[in-house]
Structure 1
Amino acid sequence: MTQRPAREASVACFDRMEPQETDAAGTKTWITRGGNFLVAVSRVKPGGVLSRENNPDEYMVILPPGVEATITAGDEEIEAVAESLTIVPPGPSQITARSEGLIARIITKNAEDLIAKAWNAATYADGAPELAVLEPWPEPVGGFKLRHYPLAPYADPKGERIQPRLFRSTNMMVNLFVHYQNRRDTTALSPHWHEDFEQASLTLHGTWIHHLRWPWNANLAEWRPDNHDEVPTPSVIIIPANVVHTSRDVGAGESSLYDIFCPPRLDFSMKPGFVLNESEYPMPKIDETKTVTKGTLLSWQKSA
């Protein structure tokens, strides 16, 4: 276990806090950062616009059920459907809402203008040395372009409760679980931790408990108690590296969960067929003399 003082988990419940951005059209945006990335969630109305003048690298856009948008990047334009993921290439881009609701963007820390606005920026004043360095994976097949993935075809309405839908880009990975109608079995939870990367869990429906247990180090004054607080939605939590965690939904109705990692997880990527768009995004060259454990990102070498 780590001997560093335990990093705080960042929890943002959007309807209980002021947004970090509000534009003339009334679009409100809440920005929460991790060590290598940020999650920007915007409450939009039809015609609302989210622009990036010259984003330095790829980013992802999540449209939940009921929200549609037109996304442009360079000379490309797509009509993004509700319940979808879109990977946006580097450079100028624009998202224009066609309906009212929430739009989530996942963007790396290279977007310095946004990272500076995060409400929890002070949490990462030390640069998060415990995390793997953010290094881009090889460029996608066919080059950088808009890549749109409607999610409905990947859901089995009669399947298991937990249905992962995993996608990656050159710099991040997201697991967009099929929405839950039934609550999780409390005798089958999955407490675990990640040694050198964080996990963001974005929840847009239902009520969640993110069970957290921090490791002990040599200084008793730095120990943190376990956390089992109920978290309303919409919300996001940044779970620090080395913190034992598992999540469960409580109450009635539908619930949703999107797990975010940056850079992409190597352990998931090494499972053939697990990443749904793996044919579009090559993996880096692997150093086979090292071992991949708990999703560590330190055991690969960039291709020549």
Structure 2
Amino acid sequence: MPYDPSDARSALPTATATRQPDGIYSPASHVKFYELPAVTTDGDTRTWYGRSQHLVIGYTDLVTPTGFTVPETSDECAVLMPEATTSATVTIDGKTTTVAGQTLTFIPPDAADVRLEGSGRVITIFTARSGAAPGEAANAAAYDEPHPGVAPLISWPDPVGGFQLRTYDLDVPGLTEPAFRIFRCSSFMVNVTHPRNGPRDTTRMSPHSHDDFEQCSLVIDGAFTHHLRWPWTTDLSQWREDEHEHCDSPSLTIIPPPAVHTSQATDAGVNHLIDIFSPPRTDFSLMDGWVLNAADYPMPEAAS
């Protein structure tokens, strides 16, 4: 499953890896928020949630001010505001910090009050084990039983200087090809790709697979077709049909291991997809300069 030579991912040590797993393949989960009623409403503001095995991801269409409370937990959570027209105030231990839009903020595992203002999209990220998400995921039933192919979530080392509110500006170049902006905390990784105009060049797709972690692909603009193919094993009953699932925005697709997958932007206008992984990806983290806040969050000693 090679990448195009111009794609920086072609240098990953797993770029051509293959795997024949044991057990039953888990299905993909396509959570099309635009087809579902909001989980919570506050005035004209609406919020939906979807989940993977380790994460609960919220998508908020912010119109009128709203907020939520985070209990003291074992894990950080995050507020991603891709647009400058939104803002957040975060209060922890009586100290209030105002966070501008077009940022990604990691909130420490302390009790916190978060207030959102402005208009635009806000994405919230919680670990499922923390129980901190303010609403239930639309696809919660898909995880009534753990998916056998997904490795357990083992947190990476604490950040340098200890847990604290950390905000990162999204107005940074990141990588060129692919257009990645990657950040991580101790329990998950967020790849805020740069939005692109027009459909994807179909001669430069990037089919690949992951051995033991899910990929959470959140579409916030435009439309994508998620192409998935499961490897064949000796047990015919475990084979799954290929998928070519069209997803408009907003939507969240959970891609399970070890499905071969690639996502194709299809809209004539702006297409924007954000990928989220838990735990943080070791292969991305080993690439020099890929993770933009690597100095704040060390890798496990064994991985580095």
Does TM, scored on the shorter chain, surpass 0.5? yes
**Aligned residue for 2:194?**
178
> Cα–Cα, structure 1 residues 128 and 10, in superposed 2: closer, same or farther, change >3 Å?
same
Residue of structure 1 equivalent to 2:268: 252
Unaligned runs of 5+ in 1: 287-299
Q: Which amino acid aligns with 2:104?
A: L
Secondary structure of the structure 1 residue equivalent to 2:244: coil
Aligned in 2, Cα 1:121/1:94: closer, same or farther, shift over 3 Å? Answer: same
Provide the residue aligned with 1:92 in structure 2. Answer: 111
Closer, same or farther: CA 38–229 of 1 in aligned 2, 3 Å: same
2:165 is equivalent to residue 146 of structure 1: yes
1:160 and 1:112 mapped to 2: Cα distance?
Answer: 36
Question: CA separation in 1, counterparts of 2:74 and 2:49?
Answer: 18
CA shift digits 1:210-264 (9 cap, x unpaired): 1111223444344322111221001110000101100111121111111100001
CA distance in structure 2 between the partners assigned to 1:249 and 1:232 by the alignment: 10
Percent identity of paired positions between Structure 1 and Structure 2: 36
Flag the 1:282–1:103 CA change in 2: closer, same or farther, 3 A.
Answer: same
The answer as to whether partners of 1:33 and 1:118 remain within 8 angstroms in 2 is yes
Alignment gaps of 5+ in structure 2: 1-19
Counterpart-to-counterpart distance in 1, 2:51 and 2:86: 24
- Normalised by the length of structure 2, the TM-score is 0.86
Alpha carbons of 1:14 and 1:60: their partners in 2 closer, same or farther (altered >3 Å)?
Answer: same
Q: Which of residues 130, 133, 137 in structure 2 aligns to 1:111? A: 130
**Contact 2:80/2:124 (<8 A) preserved:** yes
1:124 aligns to 2:140 (yes or no): no
Letter in 1 for 2:270: E
> For 2:106 and 2:173, how far apart are their aligned partners in 1?
17
Cα 1:228–1:115 change in 2 (3 A) is farther
Whether 2:18 is the aligned partner of 1:37: answer no
Aligned residue for 1:228, secondary structure, equals strand
RMSD: 2.2
1:270 aligns with 2:286: yes
Contact 1:73 1:88 in 2 (8 A): no
Aligned equivalent of 2:69, options 51, 55, 58: 51
1:69 alignment partner in structure 2: 88
Distance 1:106 1:114 in 2: 8
Which of residues 244, 248, 251 in structure 2 aligns to 1:228? 244
Partner secondary structure for residue 68 of structure 1: strand
Q: 1:59 to 1:199 in 2, by over 3 A?
A: same
2:36 aligns with 17
Are the equivalent residues in 2 in contact too, given 1:76–1:146 (CA < 8 A)? Answer: no
Q: Once structures 1 and 2 are overlaid, which stretch shifts more, 204-213 or 52-61?
A: 52-61
